[in-house]
Copies of this chain bind each other. A is one copy, B any other.
Amino acid sequence: MTERENGKPLSDLRPHIVIIGGGFGGLYCAKELARHKDVHITVVDRKNHHTFQPLLYQVASAVLSPGEIASPIRSVLRSKKNVNVFLGEALGFDLAARQVKLREFALSYDFLVVAAGATHSYFGHDEWAGFAPGLKTIEDALEIRRRVLLAYEIAERRAAAGETQYPLNFVVIGAGPTGVELAGALADIAREALVHDFRSIDPARSRVLLLEGGPRVLAAYPDDLSTKAQRQLEKLGVEVHTGAIVSNIEAGKVHVGEQVIEASVVLWAAGVRASSLGAALGVSTDRAGRVEVERDLSIPGHPEVFVIGDLAAFKGPGGKLLPGVAPVAIQQGKAAAANIWRRIQGQPTCGFIYRDKGSLATIGRSAAVAEIGKAHFSGTLAWLLWLLVHILYLIGFRNRALVVMNWAWAYFTRGRGIRLITGSTELPGVTPPR
């Protein structure tokens, strides 16, 4: 190391803020801090791109291309000259020395923001992962797309070979927003997109099962919206099973108590677990691995370290944990940035207050539910609102235009544009026919 140390010229005496994670929290935090020319910021992420997670299920369901919902973090922050971006993985922290341990070198900070997010949790059954992929990254979405499209291809080939049709069952486990979106999209693919494309099978006869362990779908929403969501799902052709606790998953099979469901494709949307970087901070975490942060989003004993987004356990009004959604992460990112700037200026920090603008969950074509303040909507109106909000929040003008174009095409033709199977053409648990 000569004239530079840890990504910063030695002569740079500006406070250095390191942000781990380029998701919604990290990105908005970096943008907010970058306005102050007297600080220097480094964003570290394991991926080179920010993923617009709310639309990830549309990549999984062949409506959008990965490039339309992901932007290189480097190019989103291109105009911010006091921001550095590193593709790299944070392995741990030395809070006393104020260093982040990256795989390649140690990065010194004056302030640290950990926004490393969450991944799916198989509740101690990590062996299920190979049979039931979850949906958190672009790679996950492409794997789900591959499996879903491949299931139809294999069924067609088997039926054409004279074999009795093997069951085309799609099973989605977990009826939170992601599970509901996936189930709705799978029903749409079966009933609309593929209906004229096969000769030996009838895609419309495939089944989509949504299994939920709890008593209702979209449990975070009010009762009436759960009921409406379930009705809309059933109208799309999804079989909704509540109180269905999965006891085992193996190749091609899902066990619910004594019952065994044959499944061509199984998708996991049942649980999330915070990044292990939360525990690596050495402070107390909740059962899901989330860090119990102070009111100003810093961690106990380290006013220079902030945790935001899905990795933070923050109690909102009524003592209820804030949900792991983009608006919370965005607002916390901005709040952490403001608090860091206050500390640099020697001012006291402020407590974070979440401004809940409402919740939206989409189900399928013209089907969604929305809760805005005391008002509840469902159906086409909620769906249009969902479209509008997601277009507005999509990062980058160009992505927005491409997404609108793909949506219009998918809506009017009832087709799916990005029906590519890349990678292997084998499915777990699918053996060649006799």
A residues bordering B, Cβ < 8 Å? 1-7, 46-49, 65-68, 70, 72, 74-75, 78, 84-88, 103-105, 138-139, 142, 149-150, 153-154, 156-162, 196-200, 398, 401-402, 405-406, 409, 415, 417-423, 425, 432-433
A198 to B73, CA, bound (A): 11
Q: Could you tell me the distance between the alpha carbons of A84 and B200 in the complex, rounded to whole angstroms?
A: 9
Q: Contacts A65-B67, A432-B104 hold; do A49 and B160 have CB atoms under 8 A apart?
A: no
| Nearest CB on B from A371, distance (A) | 34
Q: Residue on B with the closest CB to A195?
A: B78
Enumerate chain B residues within 8 angstroms of A105, measured Cβ to Cβ: 161, 433
> How far does the Cβ of A312 sit from chain B's closest Cβ, in whole Å?
26
B156 & A420 in contact (Cβ 8 Å cutoff) = no
Tell me which residues across on chain B come within 8 A of A138, comparing CB atoms.
420, 422
Contact B432 A162 (CB under 8 A): no
New A-B pairs, 16, CB < 8 Å, besides A65-B65, A87-B421, A104-B161: A4-B162, A4-B200, A5-B162, A46-B425, A47-B421, A48-B149, A48-B419, A48-B425, A65-B67, A66-B420, A67-B418, A70-B420, A78-B197, A86-B160, A104-B158, A138-B420
Q: Could you show 22 A-B contacts with beta carbons less than 8 Å apart?
A: A1-B161, A2-B162, A3-B162, A5-B162, A6-B161, A48-B419, A48-B420, A48-B421, A49-B420, A49-B421, A65-B66, A65-B68, A67-B417, A74-B198, A75-B419, A85-B156, A87-B154, A104-B157, A105-B433, A139-B423, A142-B422, A402-B405
Contact partner, A409, options B6, B70, B398, B420, Cβ 8 Å: B398
A5 to B423, alpha carbons, bound, how many Å?
A: 29
| A142 contact set on B, CB distance < 8 A | 422
Known: A2-B162, A66-B65, A417-B67. A157 touches B87 (CB 8 A): yes
In the complex, chain B residues whose CB is within 8 Å of the CB of A103: 432
Q: How far is it, in angstroms, between the C-alpha of A415 and the C-alpha of B68 when the chains are bound? A: 15
Q: How far is the CA of A78 from the CA of B416 in the complex (A)?
A: 13
Chain B residue with the shortest CB-CB distance to A104: B432
Q: Is A199 a contact of B84 with CB atoms below 8 Å?
A: yes
Closest-CB distance, A164 to chain B (whole angstroms): 8
Closest Cβ of chain B to A70, distance in Å, is 6
A341 to B75 Cα, complex, angstroms: 55
Contacts of A162 in B (CB 8 A): 1-5
| Cα separation A402 to B6 with both chains bound (whole Å) | 42
Contacts of A161 in B (CB 8 A): 1, 4, 6-7, 104-105
From B85, B87, B153, A48 is in contact (CB under 8 Å) with: B153
Instruction: Note all chain B residues with C-beta closer than 8 A to A47.
Output: 421, 425
Across the interface, do B420 and A67 meet the contact criterion of CB distance under 8 Å? yes
CA A20 to CA B70, docked complex, whole Å: 36
A133 to B196, CA, bound (A): 37
**Docked complex Cα distance between A169 and B87 (Å):** 20
| Residues of chain B within 8 A of A402, CB atoms compared | 402, 405-406
User: In the assembly, what is the distance between CA of A67 and CA of B67, in Å?
Assistant: 10
Of all A-B residue pairs in the complex, the 9 with the closest CB atoms, nearest first, are: A1-B162, A67-B418, A65-B65, A87-B153, A7-B160, A4-B162, A48-B421, A65-B67, A72-B419
A149 to B70, CA, bound (A): 15
* Chain B residues closer than 8 Å to A88, beta-carbon distance: 157
How far is A286 from B15 in the complex, measured between Cα atoms in Å?
A: 68
CB distance from A46 to the nearest CB of B (A): 7
